[in-house]
Amino acid sequence: MSATQEDYIKVLFELGGKSRNVSNKSVAERLELSPPTVTEMMNILVTAGYVEYVKYKGASLTDSGTRYAKHIIRKHRLWEVFLVEKLGISIDAVHREAELLEHVTGDDVADKLEVFLDYPKFCPHGGAIDFDEMDRQETELKTLSEVEVGRTVKISRIIDEEKLLMFFKTQKCDIGDILVVEDVDEQIDLITTYNKTKDQRLQLSLSISKYLFVETA
Amino acid sequence: MSATQEDYIKVLFELGGKSRNVSNKSVAERLELSPPTVTEMMNILVTAGYVEYVKYKGASLTDSGTRYAKHIIRKHRLWEVFLVEKLGISIDAVHREAELLEHVTGDDVADKLEVFLDYPKFCPHGGAIDFDEMDRQETELKTLSEVEVGRTVKISRIIDEEKLLMFFKTQKCDIGDILVVEDVDEQIDLITTYNKTKDQRLQLSLSISKYLFVETA
DNA sequence: AACATACTTTAGGTTTGCCAAAATTAATAT
DNA sequence: ATATTAATTTTGGCAAACCTAAAGTATGTT
C-alpha cells in the first residue's frame, strides 16, 4: 500500500468507518482533496479488500482495513511519544512529523521502538497505542461538546488541532484534568467548565470542544 | 524536492559527483532504473539548480546539490545510529530502514536526534556524519582493492552490500581493524590480507573488496 | 409530485516518474 | 577514414493520484 492509500484508510478509521458509512465529502475535506479523487480511491481500496463501499452512501472499513488502520495509527503514536519524550520536540509539532514517519516504519522497527519507549500506553495527545485500548476509547469517549451540563469528566484525548493545542498551552490545561461542565451556550458558541485539577474556570468555544475527548470521571 | 529526486542527488554524491561527471548508466544501475528515466530526471535537477549536466558526458553536483546530498546522508546515518544503538536492529537491516526515514525527517528532528544520540561521529558502517569529515573521507579513503601489496591499512568504512555485511558478520571483522595486504590475485578474484587486530588471515573476493574503504594506518 | 439542494459520479485532463524501442552520438578499433 | 560498439537521447506510452466541469442521484421541502 502506498502512503497515500494508508492516509485514506487512517482517515476512514478516524471518522468512525469501523462501524458506519463515511461520506466521500468528509474524507475529501479531511485530506484536502476533491471528492472525485476520493470516489476513485475508494474503488481501489475496495479491490484491495480494505473497504466496503455503497455507491452514494459512503465507505466503511473491512476487518482487514480496520486492522491496517490500527497498525498505522500505532506507529504514528509511538513516533509521537519518541519525538516528545526523547527528542524534546514540542507537542504541536510532533503530529506533522509522525504523519510522515508512520508510513515508512517497518513492523519490526515499530515493535522495537515500543520496547525502547517502555511500552507507552498513550501518545502525547492521549490516543491509545494498544489495539484494545483503541477500541475502548472509541466506544467510551465522547467529545466535551456532547457532555450534559453538571457532569464531571476527565480529559482523555485531544485531536491534534492547532487552535486546541494553543488553548491547552496557554490555559495550562492537560490530559487527565477533571472538568465539571457548568454551562453550554450554543448561541455564543461557548462552553463553561471548571477545571478541578487546576482549580480554575475554563471556557472554550463549543466548536473547538469537539476536538476534545472526555470520559466519565 | 521529492524523495525520488533526493535519491538521485544522493547517488550522484556517492558516485563522486562532487568532482567528476557521473554517467547516466551508473546512476541507472544504482537506482535500478532505465537510462532514459535518468536522462529525464537530470534535466529536471539541472532546472532545480542541483546538477550540472553535459549531454552525453554525465552529471555533476552543484554546490547546492552537494549540500543537499550531505544533508540527506547525514539524516540517513543518524537514523542508522539510532536504529542500531537504541533499538538494537541488526546492522544489515538498518540501511533499508534509514533509506526511507531519511526522506521524511525535518531538519529540526535531525538536529535533535543528533543531540539525543550524543553527537555520533560515524554511522554503523563507518560513514561520517559531520560534513567536513564526509569531505575528508571522500578524499582520503580508498577501496581495499586499490591498496598495494605490503601496505598496512585501517578499515574505515563499508558500503551497505549484503555480501560484504555477511562477510563481516561471519569473519568477525570490524570497522577499525588493521589489515596488511599480502596478496592480490586478479586472476582468481581474491585478495589476501592479515587482520592484525584480530590476529587472523582474511581472504575475500576482489570484487567485494571494492565496497570496503580503508585509509593508511 | 415536482423541485431544490447537496452530494456523488463520470468524463476528460494534468503531472510525476517510470518504461521499451528506435535514433543519435561518442569513443574505439580497424 | 570507416566501421563497430556502447552509451545516451528521443519518442511515444503507461500508471498513480490528483484536478475541474458536467451529469447523475438521493433526500427533504413545498
Give A130-158 pLDDT, tens digit per residue.
Answer: 999 999 999 999 999 999 999 999 999 99
Give B24-44 pLDDT, tens digit per residue.
Answer: 999 999 999 999 999 999 999
Find residue B70's DSSP bridge partners: none
A47 touches strand D (CB under 7 A): no
Query: Contact B83/A101 with Cβ under 8 angstroms?
Result: no
Cell of A131: 489495539
**What percent of chain A has pLDDT above 70?**
100
- Residue B98 CB: number of other CB atoms within 10 A? 26
Write down the pLDDT at residue B149. 95
Query: Contact B204/B167 with Cβ under 8 angstroms?
Result: yes
Residue B138, helix vs strand vs coil? helix
Helix or strand run (H / E) with residue B62: none
What is the average pLDDT score of chain B? 95
The nucleotide lying nearest B2 (C-alpha to C1') is: C16
Q: Kindly report the bases of strand C lying within 7 A of a protein C-beta atom.
A: 7-12, 16-22, 25-27
Position B87 pLDDT exceeds 90: yes
Q: How confident is the model at residue A162 (pLDDT cuts 50, 70, 90)?
A: confident
Helix or strand run (H / E) with residue B161: none
Give A58-106 pLDDT, tens digit per residue.
Answer: 999 999 999 999 999 999 999 999 999 999 999 989 999 999 999 999 9
d(CA A212, CA A144): 6
Domains and CATH numbers, chain A: 3-61 (1.10.10.10), 74-140 (1.10.10.10), 142-216 (2.30.30.90)
Q: Which of A90, A99, A109, A114 should we substitute to test contact with B (largest number of B Cβ atoms within 10 Å)?
A: A109
